[in-house]
Amino acid sequence: MIARSRLLEAGHTEAPEAEAELHVINTCCITSQAEAKSRQSVRRSLHSAREVYVSGCAANLNPGHFAAIDPAVRPFVGTADEVAAEMVGYAGLGCADLEHDVLARAPQQATRTRGFVKIQDGCDGHCAYCIIPTVRGAARSRPASAVLDEVRRRVAAGQPEMVMTGISVGDYADPERGLELGQLMLAVAGVEGVQRVRLSSVEVIHVKDSLLEALATEPKICPHLHVPLQSGDDGVLRAMGRHYTAQEYLDQMAALRAAVSGVNVTTDVIVGFPAEDRRAFERTQELVAAAGISRVHVFPYSPRPGTRAQELGDLVGPEEKKRRSRELRGRSEVGSRHHRTAKLGTTERVLVDKVAEHQCSGYTADYTRCCLPAGAAPRGQIAEVMCEELQADGIRCSGPLHPRLPLEAGLS
């Protein structure tokens, strides 16, 4: 979060949530429920904080909703950079009566192995169901030099894995040197100490040749892409304002698999969109199977005020949405089990991110969760293990097969 960094640079310090005088909450408005949860977080913070700063999408969309909660709540509207600068200025002027330095909420954990690096903001997609372009504006990219500087800081702080994030990361275009997304990922992989590079999510229309080349040629770039589908029916895709057909999605997934052996693909699907009849839903299930998708994040549709889709109404009843959601989640479980079963009896390199008394756990390069014996490797290190048994959402592994691997040897 940019505001967190700017507050720290201005001399403020961090503390546990219950002890912080100032809480900074970044909100979401992707659905009405998400916005409601953001307001709940603000109210909860007021139990201990003297002031609550609110930023993000929901604050941009409805700042008055947050300001009305309590006089101690201050919403900030604008881009991330604008909000960060305003927060720092306001904290310096408006909080002079606090007994100590302002304590910003939600510190970055020193033990976190994965660093989330924001490379762009905004979106030009304007999907019919989405409010994001309204609250985040047009797509704009962060200079590659700034991205690489942040990556170096995160490596120095003990984070060997980088995740490129943004609203529409595939729109990335370096304003300094014109690097595309795949080229930026190659540059990040080249930073000393970086062991893995991931993408948070990428639209199918942005799975370009340069990205395929990066995935195929650089071992540090992880063979896992989360590629939102939303629907496998062309009529629903048109109503949603998506920019591809079902066949184009399938064709691009085939090109991805041809270029990157063993790539793991996960996706998002919206169930119960107003244009989705039963046959359209069945086409979605068929495409999920045909594309070899290992996991589906299912989102029952709900109208979002301020979007074009709101005018279509809410034509699929709640019980039918629940039935379709259960069916698709069942399909997802089949795909996940198939993906994990194929790993049994094979060796994998797992970057350990959680260590407990009786076991530790982490992810393979293709983002498969693995549970390892206690002491297999310390947090932030890679263990080579044998995949032995399926678990509810991962794999139980034995090992390590060799002495603890230096990070440089632990690439998958």
At 26-46, the pLDDT tens digits run 888 877 788 889 999 999 999
pLDDT score, position 103:
40
For residue 321, what pLDDT band results from cuts at 50, 70 and 90?
very high
Q: Are 195 and 407 in contact (CB under 8 A)?
A: yes
CATH no. for 2-104: 3.40.50
pLDDT grade for 403, boundaries at 50, 70 and 90: low
User: How many of the other CB atoms lie within 10 Å of CB of 89?
Assistant: 12
Tokens 């229309």 correspond to: 205
pLDDT of residue 216: 96
Q: With pLDDT > 90 as the criterion, what percentage of the chain qualifies? A: 68
| pLDDT-based confidence at residue 92 (cuts at 50, 70, 90) | low
Identify the pLDDT of residue 400: 85
Kindly report the backbone phi and psi dihedral angles of residue 401, in degrees, each rounded to the nearest multiple of 5, phi listed first: -80, -25
| Residue owning tokens 């629903």 | 236
Please check the confidence at residue 19 and state whether its pLDDT lies above 50: yes
| pLDDT over 60 (residue 91) | yes
Assigned token pair, 81: 């950079």
Q: Of the given ranges (96-105, 277-286, 367-376), which has the lowest mean pLDDT? A: 96-105
pTM: predicted TM-score of the whole model, two decimal places? 0.83
* 108 confidence band (pLDDT: 50, 70, 90): very low
Tell me, what's the pLDDT at 119?
A: 96
And the tokens for 279? 């046959």
Q: What is the pLDDT of residues 171-216, one digit of tens each?
A: 999 999 999 999 999 999 999 999 999 999 999 999 999 999 999 9
Domain boundaries, given as residue ranges, for the chain: 2-104, 109-220, 223-342, 347-409
Which parts of 28-80 are beta strand (E)? 51-56, 73-75
Q: What is the DSSP string of 386-401?
A: EEEEE-SSSEEEE--S
Q: Look at residue 405 in the predicted model and tell me its pLDDT.
A: 53
Answer for the pair 306, 134: CB distance below 8 angstroms, yes or no.
Answer: yes
Class of domain 109-220: alpha beta
Q: Using CB atoms within 10 Å of the CB of residue 409, give its burial: 0 to 12 exposed, 13 to 18 middle, 19+ buried.
A: exposed
What does the DSSP 8-state code read for residue 109? P
Least confident interval from 95-109, 218-232, 293-307: 95-109
Instruction: Classify 347-409 by CATH class.
Output: mainly beta
Residue 69 pLDDT exceeds 80: yes
**From the CB of residue 354, how many other CB atoms can be counted at a distance below 10 Å?**
14
CATH 3.30.750.200 fits 223-342, yes or no: yes
Name the residue with higher pLDDT: 313 or 12.
Answer: 313
Look at 5-14, 98-107, 390-399, 401-410 and tell me which has the smallest mean pLDDT.
98-107
Same fold, 109-220 and 223-342: yes
DSSP secondary structure, 329-351, as one string: HHHHHHHHHHHHHTTTTSEEEEE
Residues 256 and 212 sit within 8 Å (Cβ to Cβ): yes
Q: How does DSSP classify residue 107?
A: P
